[in-house]
Structure formats: structure tokens, C-alpha cells
Amino acid sequence: MERTFIMIKPDGVARGLIGEVIGRFERKGLTLTNLRMLTIDAELAHNHYAEHVDKGFFKELLSFITSGPVVAMEWSGEGAVNAARAVIGPTDPMKAGPGTIRGDYGLAVTQNIVHGSDSPESAERELGLFFG
């Protein structure tokens, strides 16, 4: 079984979408194996988004992800990374189709409800950051 990391971002938590997001992954057939609600501090945010450090939107990204509580989750299942990304949809909600989380609820690239690992390697790194 493959594992993946999913995080409901501050906008998803603030809008009361935790149950909806979890339900979509459950209906896809993935298994929730770990869950933690927290407010990310600057150090964790920097480590999580380290690959974006040289990009112009990095400071805005850090400001947003530390602005309120998030729900960090570990999901497992056959092809969990790709299955989860299909449920989530593309990063830009305007390009995400109906029926995806971002297509149905996302408002902007920076406020797109949920983060999902983009590869098994990223999933392992991110799971390590949030769950040790």
C-alpha cells in the first residue's frame, strides 16, 4: 500500500470543509491512517515549502499557510498519491474540473483548500515533517 500526505489548508478549515474533504477521500477508497490538527509555525512552513523558497510568491505562501489551523492527514491505499491528486484537481481552481475539491471549492491558486503530495517521495518527506 502506498501512503500520501494531504493537508486541509486554513481556508478549507475556516470554511467548514473538513468533513467534506475527508469524505471525498474515503469515497475514493483511501484509508485515513493518521490525522493531526495544528497551526503551522514559520519553521515548519519553510521546511514544507522549501522547494518554493526562490519563487516570488514564497512569502505570501508562508503567510497564508501559517494564518490559521490546518488538518494534516496520512492516507493509504493502492496508488494513493495519484488517487488523491485526482480527487484534489489541478492547483489552479479555475482549471480544476467540477467534482474535484479545488474545482468545487477553490477560489484562487493561493486559496485552493487542500495540499496533496505530488509523488511518493514527496509524501514520505511531508509525512516525516508532520508526523515524525
C-alpha distances in angstroms, 97 versus 11, 21, 23, 104? 19, 16, 18, 8
Considering 46, 48, 52, 115, which one is annotated as catalytic? 115
Location of C-alpha cell 483511501? 30
Are the CB atoms for 25 and 75 separated by under 8 Å? yes
Question: What's the alpha-carbon Rg for the chain, to the nearest Å?
Answer: 14
Distance of CA 98 to the CA centre of its chain: 18
| 48 tagged catalytic | no
φ, ψ of residue 68 to 5 degrees: the values are -175, 180
Question: Would you say the C-alpha torsion 76, 31, 91, 14 has a positive or negative sign?
Answer: negative
Residues with a catalytic annotation lie at: 115
